[in-house]
Amino acid sequence: MALKDRVPVRTPTGRSRDADDAEAIAVYRERLLAELDRTELAALSHDQRRLRLERRMGDVLSLEGPVLGDRDRAAIIRRVVDDALGLGVLEPLLADPSITEIMVNGPHDVFVERDGRLQRHPMSFSSDEHLLQTIDRIVSAVNRRVDESSPMVDARLATGERVNVVIPPLALDGPSLTIRRFPRPFRLGELVGRGSLDAALVDLFGALVRARLSVVVSGGTGTGKTTFLNALSGLVPGHERIVTIEDAAELSLQQEHVVRLESRPANVEGRGQVSIRDLVRNSLRMRPDRIIVGEVRGGEALDMLQAMNTGHEGSLVTVHANAAEDALGRIETLAAMSELALPVDVLRDQVNTAVDVVVQLSRGSDGSRRVVEVAALVSRHREPYALAPLATFEAAPPGSDRVVAGRWVHHELPEAVVRRLLAAGEAVPASWGRS
């Protein structure tokens, strides 16, 4: 049974032109697919399939369709082929490289994120039923199910985009669909060109990663934590064995010896769940040189801290927090969510021993994402958290164009960090005033 038949949909008061168009597109799609050999079609590449369908659809319109101008004819062919091969009206948005997020709040409210800013998009679905058909196509492709009994689901498109779906009765204004797109992997040098950090910080991060200091990347939603973590991981020496652990696979490491693990939700019977925590525990048996966790958000924080404290220095992890100091408190809180009722001072000891550096990211009012603080954790054992700034971003007064600009101020490295670098055979970067 299709999703549209399992979920009650709102009945529109009148028939819209969009609804008529959608019905016509559906008729053309079925007519097109009925005339093609699907076995032969499956043997073709995606581009070849699209070309074959476009040609055949052109023939169908010439024989049976209305008289149309070239522009309208091309638009109908594209919509029919998009609906036959992909996600229909979403396909043009997914093909636009400038769009990083697609948010559908019911059939008629579609927003996209470009350059860090949200904007309404003129495209829309014809009805709740039309949107539910698209959602059903997404979730069924990854063997997931969404209906009234399970109205929320996370999934991933074949091209890697992360998808979240919420449907009625939880979504009051119609089905909600959010698609998070991930740009191609950037190197730190490329992020310098985009104003996310300066060249001196690249030298510092290179020395810290090669010297196996454990780094926490912190920031709010949409600040570029995954993009930065991916770039930072490129500094790990190629001969090391890396295990990545993620809720939805987003990292794209370039090293040769990488094992990628992804958590799995429970099935419709409530069985088969494999959590981030399960994967962190299992990774310790896989002889990793480095463990990279896409994001800690629960009791797995304690297992991650213990891994860092038992021979897996140099691991990388991200966490949601609005400041570097807040990141430490959040890790402590998450570690307390494990089934072990450890005292606060014991958890603080774990954090102080495991974490070496916190990198704080932020998104400016102009949509730009950048490193705003790099700090070393200098407190010891059960002492209150104490951070020593290594670099801070000082924003200049905003101009008429509202573009955020400024400079990074470099601070002297703590002795403990200097000793770690020298012991690993790394020179202290020149911008930090040491030779």
Q: What is the pLDDT of residues 62-90, one digit of tens each?
A: 777 676 777 777 877 777 777 766 677 88
- The pLDDT-based confidence of 248 (bands split at 50, 70, 90) is confident
> Is residue 100 over pLDDT 60?
yes
- The pLDDT-based confidence of 435 (bands split at 50, 70, 90) is very low
Q: Which long-range contacts (CB under 8 A, 24 or more apart) does 25-30 make?
A: 25/76, 25/79, 25/80, 25/83, 25/88, 26/83, 28/57, 28/60, 28/61, 28/65, 28/76, 28/80, 29/80, 29/83, 29/84
> Is residue 105 over pLDDT 80?
yes
What pLDDT, on the 0 to 100 scale, is given for residue 334? 92
What whole-number distance in Å separates Cα of residue 275 and Cα of residue 279?
7
Strands 152-156 and 117-121, how do they pair?
unpaired
Give Cβ neighbours of residue 387 (< 8 Å, ≥ 6 apart): 324, 325, 328, 358, 375, 376, 377, 378
Mean pLDDT within 310-320? 90
Instruction: Name which residue leads in pLDDT, 44 or 174.
Output: 174
> Is residue 25 over pLDDT 80?
no
> Is residue 4 over pLDDT 80?
no
Token pair, residue 167, equals: 């449907």
What pLDDT, on the 0 to 100 scale, is given for residue 14? 47
What pLDDT, on the 0 to 100 scale, is given for residue 9? 55
The answer to whether the CB of 208 falls within 8 A of the CB of 355 is no
What pLDDT, on the 0 to 100 scale, is given for residue 62? 76
> Is residue 198 over pLDDT 90?
yes
**φ and ψ at 166, to 5 degrees?**
-135, 125
| CA angle (132, 44, 51) in 5-degree steps | 75
Residue 104 pairs with which residues in a beta bridge? Answer: 110, 177
Q: Length of the chain, please?
A: 435
Token pair, residue 322, equals: 């609005």
What whole-number distance in Å separates Cα of residue 367 and Cα of residue 402?
10
What pLDDT, on the 0 to 100 scale, is given for residue 57? 78
Mean pLDDT within 226-230? 90
> Is residue 401 over pLDDT 50?
yes
Mean pLDDT within 34-55? 71
pTM of the entire predicted model: 0.79
Mean pLDDT within 249-267? 85
CB neighbours of residue 35 within 10 Å: 11
Mean pLDDT within 341-354? 91
Mean pLDDT within 249-271? 83
What pLDDT, on the 0 to 100 scale, is given for residue 317? 93
The answer to whether the CB of 46 falls within 8 A of the CB of 85 is yes
Strands 258-262 and 242-246, how do they pair?
parallel
Q: Which of 21-30, 323-332, 344-353 has the lowest mean pLDDT?
A: 21-30
